[in-house]
Amino acid sequence: MISQHWISLIVGAILIILLYFAIIEEEKRDVKKFDDAYRDYMKRVPRIYGFGYAQS
């Protein structure tokens, strides 16, 4: 039973890391598409709600 918790923890951590990288790639595409307007948006809006503001 304890081994199931470790597996869930590892899989969850991997998924969070993959989500973070997906967000970074999406931001790169949006910067190319919208340029300075998106950079201004990034300054006002947190990358992930509840984790502070993006400093990109």
Count of domains in the chain?
1
Tell me, letter by letter, the H, E, C secondary structure of 15-26: HHHHHHHHHHHH
Q: How confident is the model at residue 53 (pLDDT cuts 50, 70, 90)?
A: low
Task: Tell me, yes or no, whether 12 lies in a domain.
Answer: no
Task: Tell me, yes or no, whether 26 lies in a domain.
Answer: yes
With b for 16 or more beta-carbon neighbours within 10 A and e for fewer, the 6-20 pattern comes to eeeeeeeeeeeeeee
* Residues 2-45 pLDDT 10s: 678 889 999 999 999 999 999 999 999 999 999 999 999 999 98
Higher pLDDT, 21 or 55: 21
Contact 43, 53 (CB under 8 A): yes
Task: Tell me, yes or no, whether 5 lies in a domain.
Answer: no
Taking the chain, what is the end-to-end CA distance rounded to the nearest angstrom?
Answer: 42
